[in-house]
Amino acid sequence: MSEILAVRDLEKTFGSLVAARDITVSIPAEQTVGVIGANGAGKTTFINMITGHLVPSKGTILFENKDITGLPSREITRLGISRSFQVAQIFPTLTVRENMVVAAAIARRGGGMLGAVTTPVHSPAALAEAEATVELFQISRYADTPAGLLPQGVRKLLDIGMAVVGWPRLLLLDEPTSGISIEEKFDLMQVVMSALKTRRITVLFVEHDMEIVGRFADRVLAFYEGTVIADGTPEQTLGDAKVQELITGVKARSAGTSHV
Ligand SMILES: Nc1ncnc2c1ncn2[C@@H]1O[C@H](COP(=O)(O)OP(=O)(O)OP(=O)(O)O)[C@@H](O)[C@H]1O
Ligand SMILES: [Mg+2]
């Protein structure tokens, strides 16, 4: 498989705080990569640098062999990288379909949010893409429901669908199952991952639930204090002694003290 993302010696400092350091990772196309790490380990910082929401202090990021380091997020989105945020970014008073149409229009223009909401967006192509993506994410029966009234799980599906409607080749999901009950998480991820596979999208997803990581990731990166301390199959990374000691708390849990 060809390499889609290559990150070399990436670093991000905020004053004296080193939020990311020495990150070197190569991701082949169509791989599904789980990203784990305790709160403050640097997972979101890593994602924000790839999407252009943060400019790295050092290092390079190549996407499909093009150097995208420090480019504005709009430009990076236009090149084929999309994301969701830890908190869903939707318009609560618009219906599911309308939200998706706006997202489709933004993606088609490669432009910013403002341009899309202040000009007519109902091009037939945007409507068709919105409809197809609503279906792909299995939320057609909510198409006419205002997004603010959706159950949490459906809201997540809409949020991720909106990140996918423009056909990105790389998608970054920051805690897609946060705020979702344990019973609902698996079904939600099943729908999301099967939709992404259908579109052959490479995925990096941040996740705190190790069962979800073990079930859905082909590969797992473990972050600790801004750097990657393990990188391998879920079995390798989750079985790593350092990961168990510093992140998953498997050893601590057997003593009844972990909450991760
Ligand atoms: N804009 C910022 N300015 C200053 N410090 C920041 C900024 N963004 C992140 N940090 C710090 O960088 C470190 C890494 O934060 P980051 O948000 O990447 O962690 P995370 O792994 O995503 O954590 P969580 O699991 O809580 O989401 C933390 O110490 C955080 O306080
Ligand atoms: Mg985070």
Better-predicted residue by pLDDT, 238 or 183: 238
Ligand 1 binding pocket includes 44 (Cβ within 6 Å): yes
Q: For ligand 2, a single-atom ion, which residues have Cβ within 5 Å?
A: 43-44
Does any ligand 1 atom lie closer than 6 A to the CB of residue 43? yes
Scan for tokens 């790593």, then name that residue: 240
Catalogue all structural domains in the chain, each as residue range(s) with its CATH number. Answer: 1-77+168-178+202-260 (3.40.50.300), 81-167 (3.40.50.300)
255 pLDDT higher than 70 = no
168 CA → ligand 2 middle, Å: 22
Would you say 199 and 141 are in contact if contact means Cβ atoms under 8 Å apart?
no
pLDDT over threshold 70, residue 238: yes
Give percent of the chain above pLDDT 90.
Answer: 81
- Cβ contacts of 11 within 8 Å, gap of 6 or more: 18, 20, 21, 22, 23, 56, 57, 58, 59
Q: How confident is the model at residue 35 (pLDDT cuts 50, 70, 90)?
A: very high
For the CA of 12, the closest atom of ligand 1 is 12
Q: Given this model, what pLDDT does residue 122 score?
A: 72
Nearest ligand to the C-alpha atom of residue 37: 1
Strand stretches in 153-249, DSSP E: 170-174, 202-206, 219-224, 227-232
**pLDDT, mean of residues 128-151:** 97
User: CB atoms < 10 A from the CB of 92, how many?
Assistant: 12
Q: Which carries the bigger pLDDT value, residue 170 or residue 105?
A: 170
For residue 104, the CA-to-ligand 1 centroid distance in Å is 30
Contact 61, 238 (CB under 8 A): no
pTM for this predicted structure: 0.91
